[in-house]
Every structure is written in C-alpha cells, then in structure tokens.
Amino acid sequence: MTADRATSTRSRLIEATITSLRTKGVAGLTSREIAGAADVNLQAITYHFGSKDSLVAAALTELVQGRLDPVREALEGDDDPAERLFNALSTIRSAFAVARADLEAYADAVAASSTNPELARSLGEIHENLRAYLSDLITQMQGDGYIQPWVEADAMATLLIAVGDGVATQSHFGDPDVDGVLDQLALLLLGAREQRSRVWPAAAKMLLRRMGKH
C-alpha cells in the first residue's frame, strides 16, 4: 500500500467514524458500519488503528481538535487581550450554535470512557493538552500584568475545562445557556485582572460593552 493510499484510507475511516459518532453515539458504532461508510474492507480498521476502540479514540481527538483550533487562533491573535478574549468567546458561541451533534458526541464519549480504556486515554490526552495550553496562556497574561498573580493558572485552566465538559453534558438532556455561561467566564477572568495595569481597564470596558454588559 502506497503512503498516499494509506493516508486516504486512514482519513476516510476517521471521517466515517466522526459521522457515526454524531448520528449513533459510541454505543451504536460497529466496525462493519464504519468500514462500509468509509468504503474500505473490515480489516483496514485493524491494519491502521489496531482496534475499533482505537479508531474511535482517534476520531474523537480529531473532532475536538477541529473545534478547538479556531478558538486557539482567536486567542493567539495580535489584538490586545480583551479583544482576543472577545474573539475567542465569539468563536465558541458560533461553534456551539452549529455543533450540537459534536457536543452530544463528545458528552457520549465522556460517559463511555468509564468502561473504555482507549476513550479514557484519548480524553485524558485532550484534557491534559488543553489544560497545559490554557495554563501557559494564563501565566503569560499574568506576566504581562493582565491577570493578578493570586490566580493559580493550572487550577483556573482545569476549571475552564470542567465548565466546557459540563455544558457539553447538558446538551444531552437540555438546552444549555451557552451565552450566559460564556459571559460569566469572561467576567470571572476580568474580575481577576491586575488593577495596576494601565491598559487593561479600558480593554475590559470595551469587552463588557461588546458583551452588552455596559
């Protein structure tokens, strides 16, 4: 098998699994259905991933990464911190508006991970990578004088992830107030601003105005 063909087969399997996760959830997935949707033979799953569970874990990672990448781009822009935060929140709002199936698929995977070691490993890696990223971002903003030093970067990063997981879980049985939750998170971070900063107060007021708080 050529490298291009192997890559194509692997990609089709992941895409087919993501589609099935959205429509069937983890419990409804079968290797035969995934292989049929990807138009490959059943053995391709074992050849490329070792097992169906490993394939599902890889698909979940790609699904989550696809939703996180635009948020990271917004947070890493050239604007001031308040503007970047507003852009990131706007990106998250847009994602929640169109990605209900992805939220439910993620929440379903979290629930299934208690009895699925591969899913548990994948979710652990997703959480750890995101926690490290957010912790570094918070630490950087502390160094720049935008967030007070009493904020514990790792703990705050873990809190933000926990809130995201909670909203995803709520999508299974209700209609979570995504806008309200995001606004509260923004206000929480703004409340932890460094009062001595000459730049942050004006930026914070701008963010609050754009959120409709002032």
User: Does some domain include residue 130?
Assistant: yes
Helix residue ranges, H only, 39-116: 43-49, 52-75, 81-98, 100-112
Q: What CATH code is carried by the domain that includes residue 159?
A: 1.10.357.10
Least confident of 37-51, 129-143, 146-160, 191-205: 191-205
pLDDT reported for residue 60: 92
User: Does some domain include residue 151?
Assistant: yes
User: Does some domain include residue 7?
Assistant: no
User: Does some domain include residue 120?
Assistant: yes
pLDDT reported for residue 196: 47
User: Does some domain include residue 16?
Assistant: no
User: Which of these, 189, 137, 192, 191, lies nearest to 163 by C-alpha position?
Assistant: 189
User: Does some domain include residue 30?
Assistant: no
pTM of the model: 0.79
CA atoms of 168 and 101, how far apart (whole Å): 10
Number of domain units in the chain: 1
pLDDT in tens, 39-74: 999 999 999 999 999 999 999 999 999 988 988 888
Mean pLDDT across 178-200: 67
